Amino acid sequence: MGWNVDIYEARPDLRLPSSKAAAQQRSINLAISSRGITALHAIDPAATARFFQTVIPMCGRMIHDIRGNQQSQQYDKDGQCINSIDRALLNEGLLEEASAIPNIRLFFNHKVLSIDFDNRTMVIRDTNSETEVRKAFYLCIGADGSYSIVRRQLMRVVRMNFQQEYIPHEYIELKMPAGCDEHGQPVFLLDPNHLHIWPRHSFMLIALPNKDKSFTCTLFAPTVEFDRLIGCEAILSWFRTYFPDALLLLGEDKLLNDFAKNTRSPLISIKAKPYHYKDRCVILGDSAHSMVPFYGQGLNCGLEDVRVLQALLLQEGVAPCSPPTHLGERELTDTRLLNALSKYTETRHEDLVAICELAMDNYTEMRHSVTTPMYLFKKALDNLLYTITSSKDSLTLATRSLATVPFLSPNPTGWLPLYTMVTFRPDISYATARKKAAKQSAVLSFAGHLGTAFLSATALYVTFHAVHWLQRR
C-alpha cells in the first residue's frame, strides 16, 4: 500500500550461505493451496507466478497400508491440487521481493524485546553488536510466530482472552532420498503428485515431494510412543512392524541418523482475542493463531490474514501511501485505522477458531478415518452430491476481486465437501465452510438413519411375509 515499512527479524538473513543450514533444519517443505496463493496474488501477481514455477502439485492422498498396498484418494473431483513448496525458497523469494521495494527496509539479527504502545516505541536488540535501540513506529504488525513477543506485550495493555494447548503428540522430520535410474539420474521413489500417508490409527507418517526428487517425511506420534523408541534396534524394529515399505525407501542408516540428529518438536494450538490494540498494533499469522499442521493451512491462513487486513484497510479508506507520521502527537487516534483493526478482530476471530479446530479434527481423519469403509462411503456420497448440485461459477473472477473484499460467498449454494471449501475456495471463509459442512453432515446422518430405518422396515416386512408364506405351505 506504499507505506514505509521496517521489518525486524530476530534471525540472520536466510539468503546468506552461512545461515542456510540453520534455516533449513525444520519443516523443509509445506503445502500451499488456494488461500495462500490468492493472498500472494492480491499483493503481487507476478511474484506469485514466479513462486509457482517451483511447486510440485499433489492431487490427492496416497494411503499406504501395512502390507505396502497404495490407494489414491483425490482431493477434489475436478482435479484441483495442493502444492508442495520449498519453505526456504518461498521465504527467500518473499525477501527478494521485499528488498526490491524502496520503501521497505529489512533488519536481520534484530530481536524485538518490548513495546510501549502508548508512546509508540519499541526496544530492539541488535544481536550483531549486542546493543539495544529504541525505535518509534506508527503501526506495529506482529508476525513473530507461536511464541510471539508482540502478543505477550499486547496482553499487558488489552484484556486478551488466550488459550494455548499442547497436544500429547509430537513430530520429527525424516528424509527419504531420491532413487537412481539406469542412467544414474535421480528419480522419485514414490509418486510425486500425491501427499503420502501411512495411517496407523494412533500415529502416522507422511511424505511431501521435493524438487530434488527426495521426499520430506514427518512422523507424528504420541510422546509416549516416541519415548519407547530408545536405541537403534527399537527404532528399526518399530519401523519394520509399522512402516516396512517406507523403511526400505528411507534406508536404515539414514533413518537412524535422522532420529539422532533431528529434534522432536511439540505441536501447539493457540487461540486469542482481540488481535489489535487501539489504532497501533495488530498480530497476524501464528502469533495470533498457531494451529496443529494437519490441514496444511497454517501458512495459508497467515497469508490470508494479510489479504483480509488489506481489504479492510482499503474499505475503511486508510490511505494507500505512507501515513502521516505525526509521532509527536501520540495521543491522536487515527479513526480509519482504528475502525479497520477493530473490524479485523471482530470478523476474523470466528474464522481463526474454525480453522484451528478443523486442523485438530483432520489429524484423526488422516491417521485413522481414511482407512475405514464408512469414511470412504461418506466421501463417495459427498462427491456424488457435489457433482449433482454444483454449478460452475467463475472462481477465477471471484479470486481476482478478493484483493479488496474479505470474502465473496457468505452463503455458498449447492453441496460442497468440507475439504473443497477449506482448501480450494478462498471466497468462502473458514467459519462459513465449517457451518455449512456441519449442516451437510447432519443431512448425511439423517439420510443414513432414514436409510437404515427403511432397510430395517423392508427386512421386517420381507421376513414377516416369508414366515407367513412358509406357514401357509
Ligand X SMILES: NC(=O)C1=CN([C@@H]2O[C@H](COP(=O)(O)OP(=O)(O)OC[C@H]3O[C@@H](n4cnc5c(N)ncnc54)[C@H](OP(=O)(O)O)[C@@H]3O)[C@@H](O)[C@H]2O)C=CC1
Extract the C-alpha cell encoding 100: 526490491
Rank residues 32 and 385 by Cβ distance to ligand FAD and give the closer one. Answer: 32
Residue with cell 488489552: 158
C-beta of 49: minimal distance to ligand FAD in Å? 19
Contact status, residue 75 vs residue 41, Cβ threshold 8 Å: no
Residue nearest to ligand FAD (CB): 285
Give 250-253 contacts, CB < 8 A, sequence gap 24+.
250/174, 250/175, 250/176, 250/217, 251/177
CA distance 230 to 264: 13
Q: Does 114 bind ligand X (CB under 6 A)?
A: no
Rank residues 8 and 226 by Cβ distance to ligand FAD and give the closer one. Answer: 8
Residue 308 binding partner per list ligand X, ligand FAD, ligand KYN, none, with a CB distance cut-off of 5 to 8 Å that depends on partner kind? none
CA distance 28 to 30: 7
C-beta of 18: minimal distance to ligand FAD in Å? 16
Rank residues 28 and 312 by Cβ distance to ligand KYN and give the closer one. Answer: 28
What is the gyration radius of the CA atoms in the chain, in angstroms?
A: 25
Residue 174 binding partner per list ligand KYN, ligand FAD, ligand X, none, with a CB distance cut-off of 5 to 8 Å that depends on partner kind? none
CA distance 142 to 9: 11
Query: Using alpha carbons only, what angle is made at residue 220 by residues 216 and 221, rounded to the nearest 5 degrees?
Result: 150
Contact residues toward ligand KYN (CB under 6 A) are 30-31, 61, 82, 195, 206, 218, 293-296, 362, 366
**CB-hemisphere CA count at 13 Å for 286?**
16
Extract the C-alpha cell encoding 133: 535501540
Of the candidates 424, 408, 289, the residue with the CA atom closest to the CA atom of residue 359? 289
Rank residues 30 and 318 by Cβ distance to ligand FAD and give the closer one. Answer: 30
Burial class (CB in 10 A: 0-12, 13-18, 19+), 209: buried
Burial class (CB in 10 A: 0-12, 13-18, 19+), 66: middle
Site string for ligand X, 275-294 (x = CB under 6 A): -----------x---xxxx-
**3-class SS string, 39-52:** HHHHHCHHHHHHHH
Rank residues 171 and 259 by Cβ distance to ligand FAD and give the closer one. Answer: 171
Of the candidates 163, 102, 122, 110, the residue with the CA atom closest to the CA atom of residue 280? 122
C-beta of 11: minimal distance to ligand FAD in Å? 4
Query: Using alpha carbons only, what angle is made at residue 339 by residues 282 and 40, rounded to the nearest 5 degrees?
Result: 55
Site string for ligand X, 235-274 (x = CB under 6 A): ------------------------------x-xx------
Report cis status (omega within 30 of 0) of the bond before 274: yes
Q: Which stretch binds ligand X (CB under 6 A): 145-153, 229-237, 387-395, 451-459?
A: 145-153
Contact residues toward ligand FAD (CB under 6 A) are 8-11, 27, 30-31, 111-112, 143-145, 149, 171, 218, 285-287, 293, 296-300, 302
C-beta of 62: minimal distance to ligand KYN in Å? 10
Task: Reduce the DSSP state of residue 135 to 3 states and report it.
Answer: strand
Rank residues 37 and 247 by Cβ distance to ligand FAD and give the closer one. Answer: 37
Contact status, residue 20 vs residue 123, Cβ threshold 8 Å: no
Residue nearest to ligand KYN (CB): 296
Residue 60 binding partner per list ligand KYN, ligand X, ligand FAD, none, with a CB distance cut-off of 5 to 8 Å that depends on partner kind? none
Residue 268 binding partner per list ligand KYN, ligand FAD, ligand X, none, with a CB distance cut-off of 5 to 8 Å that depends on partner kind? ligand X
Q: What would the DSSP string read from start to end of 158-204?
A: S--EEEEEEEEEEEEEEEE--EE-TTS-EE-SS-TTEEEEEE-SS-E
C-beta of 204: minimal distance to ligand X in Å? 15
Q: Does 31 bind ligand X (CB under 6 A)?
A: no
Residue 292 binding partner per list ligand KYN, ligand X, ligand FAD, none, with a CB distance cut-off of 5 to 8 Å that depends on partner kind? ligand X
β-pairing, 140-142 with 265-273? Answer: unpaired
Given candidates 26, 105, 228, 326, which one binds ligand X under the rule CB under 6 A?
Answer: 26
Given candidates 146, 193, 383, 390, which one binds ligand X under the rule CB under 6 A?
Answer: 146
Residue 315 binding partner per list ligand KYN, ligand FAD, ligand X, none, with a CB distance cut-off of 5 to 8 Å that depends on partner kind? none
Residue 206 binding partner per list ligand X, ligand FAD, ligand KYN, none, with a CB distance cut-off of 5 to 8 Å that depends on partner kind? ligand KYN
Rank residues 90 and 154 by Cβ distance to ligand KYN and give the closer one. Answer: 90
Residue 299 binding partner per list ligand X, ligand FAD, ligand KYN, none, with a CB distance cut-off of 5 to 8 Å that depends on partner kind? ligand FAD
Rank residues 73 and 109 by Cβ distance to ligand KYN and give the closer one. Answer: 73
Extract the C-alpha cell encoding 397: 473472477
C-beta of 303: minimal distance to ligand FAD in Å? 8
Question: In the complex, which residues of this chain contact ligand X (CB under 6 A)?
Answer: 26, 145-147, 265, 267-268, 286, 290-293
